[in-house]
Amino acid sequence: MANPFFNDREGRLRAFWRLLFQSITYYGGVVVLGSVVSGVFALFGGVSLGDGAIEALAASPVFLASGGVASLVAALFSVWLAGRFFDRRPLSSGFGLRIDREWWLDFAFGLFLGALLMAGVFLVELTAGWITVTGALESTNADAAFFPAILAPLIWFICVGFYEELISRGYQLRNMAEGLNFPGVGPKGAVALAWVLSSLLFGLLHLANPNATAVSTLNIAFAGLLLGAGYVLTGRLATSIGLHMTWNFFQGNVFGFPVSGLEPVGATFLSVEQGGPALFTGGIFGPEAGLLGLGTIVVGILLIWLWVQARSGKASLQDSLAEPPTAAPERANAPDTRG
């Protein structure tokens, strides 16, 4: 009978336990580092940790950027720790972060694609008369200058794009694919299942966002498919990270839309007043909850497929994402092969 905790052939914990350990380490790190950031900000920013303190901290661009950096540190540490002691993979190359010329080209494409897709959403809504531009180069705090104020959300979304992709795609999707690589499913089937399951989890993790609904959660799960497309087709996180960064930043701080239910903080290049049918626009949650956003996601997946096809001559799911590290020689004859 197979050991439910340990894979003897691979010499490591099974995928479920690796995923659980990494998640606990990450969220524990976020709590600890977030508490430190909150305490320091409250102490030196003059905010008392009493009633209304959470709202005051959350509305601060500097606190927002600091929180992003703290979450990034927690993510890097948790994936490094899990990779080093449980996955038996190095952080630098085991989770889609092998940096080379191809990686940077995919990253640049991801940055361009996120900006392009969100510009498309803006132009469609503007042409349809669903939004009205009410200002430009405005800070959310009337006393703050635009250019210093825009830096905080830029830092925030750079951090979010990196750490959410490292965790959701680089770590979770890969480990799910390894764990699902059963006989009869095969590597490609395992990668496809992991792509879907990790995207569903990504959607559920946004269920607690302001103004979230069942529709917005489902749409963000589809956005997870978009963000994961570059990873499952190339084995590199580059496209996913670049796309995530500019998708969020252009959505919120360039075009003034809410991002996953969160109003823009810091400054926006354009300020807009939202109208039109919420079924298409997403209403107060933002474009990610509307049919227009869903259509944009489908277009984005197609463009990623075309990009990979044009560059490599073939766009297909990467079997390697479902393959475990090389088993130790002394365990090579063990009967259990699942992750």
pLDDT for residue 309: 97
Pairing of β 131-139 and β 267-274: antiparallel
| Tokens at 83, concatenated | 């990779």
List of residues 6+ apart from 95 with CB closer than 8 A: 79, 83, 89, 166, 170, 171, 174, 237
3-state secondary structure at position 20:
helix
Confidence of residue 30 (pLDDT cuts 50, 70, 90): very high
Does 239 score more than 50 pLDDT? yes
Query: Mean pLDDT, the chain, as a whole number?
Result: 90
The model's pLDDT over 285-298, given as tens digits with 9 standing for 90+, comes to 999 999 999 999 99
Sequence-distant (≥ 6) Cβ neighbours of residue 270 within 8 angstroms: 133, 135, 136, 254, 255, 256
Query: What's the one-letter identity of residue 300?
Result: G
User: Would you call 27 helix, strand, or coil by DSSP?
Assistant: helix
CA distances (Å), origin 53, targets 47, 50, 63, 211:
6, 5, 12, 21
Q: How high is the pLDDT of residue 3? A: 86
**271 token code pair:** 């300020």
Mean pLDDT confidence for 326-337: 43
First to last CA, the chain: 15
pLDDT digits (tens, 9 = 90+) for 287-330: 999 999 999 999 999 999 999 999 999 999 999 999 998 744 33
Helix spans in the chain (H): 15-45, 53-58, 61-82, 91-94, 101-128, 146-165, 174-179, 186-204, 214-234, 238-249, 278-281, 291-312
User: Is residue 53 over pLDDT 70?
Assistant: no
pTM above 0.85, yes or no: yes
Is residue 335 over pLDDT 70?
A: no
pLDDT at 57 over 80: no
For residue 86, count other CB atoms closer than 10 A to its CB. 18
Is the model's pLDDT at 334 over the cut of 50?
Answer: no
DSSP annotation of 185 reads: T
Least confident of 24-33, 36-45, 53-62, 135-144: 53-62
* List of residues 6+ apart from 303 with CB closer than 8 A: 113
Q: How far apart are CA 40 and CA 211, in angstroms?
A: 30
| Alpha carbons 268 and 295: distance in angstroms, whole number | 25
Local confidence band at 56 (pLDDT 50, 70, 90 cut-offs): low
Place of tokens 């336990």: 17
Q: What is the DSSP string of 186-208?
A: HHHHHHHHHHHHHHHHHHHTTTT
At residue 43, the pLDDT reads: 75
- Overall residue count recorded for the chain in this entry: 339
Contact 286, 259 (CB under 8 A): yes
Residue 331, pLDDT > 60, answer no
CA distance 329 to 245: 42
Torsion sign, CA atoms 84, 89, 93, 94: negative
pLDDT tens, residue by residue, 156-182: 999 999 999 999 999 999 999 999 999
